[in-house]
Structure 1
Amino acid sequence: MTDTRSLTTPAATLAYDVRGPLPPTDPPALMLVAAPMTAEGFTSLAAGFDDRTVITYDPRGLGRSTRHDHSTAHTPEQNAEDMHRIIAELGIAPVDVFASSGGAVSALALVAAYPDDVATLVAHEPPMLALLPDADRAFAAEKATHAIYHEKGWGHGMASFIALSSWKGELTDEFAAAPPPDPAAFGLPSEDDGSRDDPLLSGVSDAITAYEPDVDAVLAAPTRIVLAVGADSAGLLTDRTTAAVAGAFGQEPVVFPGGHGGFLGGEFGQQGDPEAFAVRLREVLDET
């Protein structure tokens, strides 16, 4: 059974979900976070942890969470603050956290700012472009995707994003010189619906991909940090960023089933293997 709650902060009203008892029984509560993905993306993965209390939430300004800070920007620091407020509201620290994509970036910011909040963090494919050896090219490609989106609309912007995220290896002159991809090649619409507020494509989440972790603060925390990457992501952008983050912490990434959305079970039209993913996550969380 899912108990949906809300928490009003100075910046937003956050919608979050609690599956399982409060206070949680042993082991600690498991928080599943992502950005800009909302809580519904974890429906299948959460089903694999029906023996634990599981917390999910919609980041501010996304899904059911509304904001009243007069901003459209998404930053790791604000997401970390929101996660901390939910943990504090429930009185469940320390929690285990599985965090994917932009959520993994925000979770590292959470550990740096609130080191007693998290027991184990599994950070899955954090897209920290600043740590790449070809960071300048990665940021240029990101800005080009934003420009295409603002010029031509969602389908064209998403096609550009897919081309970037599916490129293997360092970004070359060949990649930079390639013409913008045709949305139809990815089954995307070419028509412009006029909207320009997509959190992934509009540029409002640039602070997440530009974030650099406070390595000293994270290493000083009592939190166990695990960097995770999908088996199908080998050579792709988020595989390379994960390796770079892991290297900053003196680690090698652990491998999970599937790719960037390996935990999805049809949510948002993407099919991973959530059952196998949950088994692997349980193994990693149970390690000492």
Structure 2
Amino acid sequence: MTALPATGGTLDVPGAQLYYELRGEGPLLVLVGSPMDAGPFAPLADLLAADYTVLTTDPRGVGRSPIEDPDQVATPELRAADLSRLITEVDAGPAGLLGSSGGAVTALALAQSYPGQAHTVIAHEPPLYEVLEDRKELIARSEDMVATYRGGDSIGAFRIFMEIAGMAMPEEMFQQMFAERGEKEAEEDRRFFLYTQGPTTQWVPDLDALRAGSTRLVIGIGEQSAGQLCDRTSRALAASLGIEPALFPGDHGGFMGDPAAFADRLRAVLAGR
């Protein structure tokens, strides 16, 4: 199957310019991450474009979405407001929405504050400390991570991050991912450690509002994520909402590891199967 070409665009929003891409035709389906940009979603978006108009975006301050204030805190509420404006801009909603990792927190914030914008929100592995009993320990460990970063040891900060996440990887892979960082990557690292991860992981969802809203909520978990932080947070959140989590192929980044299998599962979940 030949991938449908993506059309890029930009949207001016207060304090930032958002880059986004559209693919395909049909009902609107939004794929969003944080702090990840649109790039890793491209293989999945290409597959889904046969059935949907697929919207992907770089969150403010990431990738091709510049911000006016480099020290602006990237709260889930702010990111949800950006996403709401994008959905309004493309004028094809209400949307189906898949948020991954920090993007899952963005998606939950959208469902909470803009319930008419999405008919279905699939929050795939949201890293929410506040739904766990050991949240104080996790916050303290994250504060140690930030202090390590502020002390000039970005590699050490990433090691703590991976430990908190419960994601083990070979040393060679770790070095490839985190040791060689260019100027742009270093700036995005700064925003992640100082202005994004804290507000994301410590966001407190309004469970009553999420339960009462018109948006259908799905909490997604990777089949291979057992033992990882986001497996725990996702199961705890689903239990708090009184819903059964939906399993997806792969782990935390399953949509990158096997986009075809992930696309098939996503279509089924959107269809209520």
TM-score by length of 2: 0.89
Report the alpha carbon displacement of residue 129 of structure 1 after superposing the two structures with TM: 0.5
Show the counterpart of 1:104.
Answer: 104
> Aligned residue for 1:213?
205
Q: 8 Å contact 1:145–1:161 — kept in the other structure? A: yes
Residues 197-206 or 183-192, more deviating: 183-192
Indicate the residue corresponding to 1:176 in structure 2.
Answer: none
Deviations 1:184-237 (A, max 9, x none): 683356689895651333354311111111122222221110000011111211
Alpha carbons of structure 1 residues 193 and 83: separation in structure 2 relative to 1, 3 Å: closer
Contact 2:72 2:195 in 1 (8 A): no
Shift of 1:150: 2.4
TM-score (norm. length: structure 1): 0.84
The answer to whether the Cα contact below 8 Å between 1:158 and 1:201 also exists between their aligned partners in 2 is: no
Aligned mates of 1:219, 1:81 — CA distance in 2: 20
1:273 aligns with 2:258: yes
Q: Describe the SS at the equivalent of 1:6.
A: strand
In the other structure, the counterpart of 1:37 is 36
Q: Give the number of aligned pairs.
A: 264
Higher mean Cα deviation, 152-161 or 276-285?
Answer: 152-161
Correspondence for 2:255? 263
Deviations 1:96-140 (A, max 9, x none): 001101111111111111111001111100000011110001111
**C-alpha distance in 2, partners of 1:34/1:191?**
23
Matched, 1:237 2:229: yes
Among the aligned pairs, what percent are the same residue?
40
Aligned CA distance change for structure 1 residues 148 and 98 (closer, same or farther; 3 Å): same
| 1:187 alignment partner AA | Q
Name 1:172's counterpart in structure 2. Answer: none
* Matching residue of 1:13: 17
The letter for the 1-side match of 2:32 is V
Residue ranges of structure 1 left out of the alignment (5+ in a row): 169-181, 265-271
Match of 1:127 in 2: 127
Q: Is the 8 A contact 2:62 2:188 kept in 1?
A: no
Give the root-mean-square deviation of aligned CA atoms. Answer: 2.4
* Cα distance in 2, alignment partners of residues 70 and 163 from structure 1: 28
What secondary structure does 2:224 align onto? helix
Change (3 A) 1:204 1:96: closer
SS of alignment partner, residue 106 of structure 2: helix
Q: What's the secondary structure of 1:246's corresponding residue?
A: helix
Aligned partner (choices 3, 8, 20) of residue 7 of structure 2:
3
| Deviation readout 1:142-176 (Å, 9 max, x if unpaired) | 112222222243322212211221279xxxxxxxx
Deviates more, 1:202-211 or 1:225-234: 202-211
Moved more, 134-143 or 199-208: 199-208
Cα distance change on mapping 1:190 and 1:31 into 2, 3 Å: closer
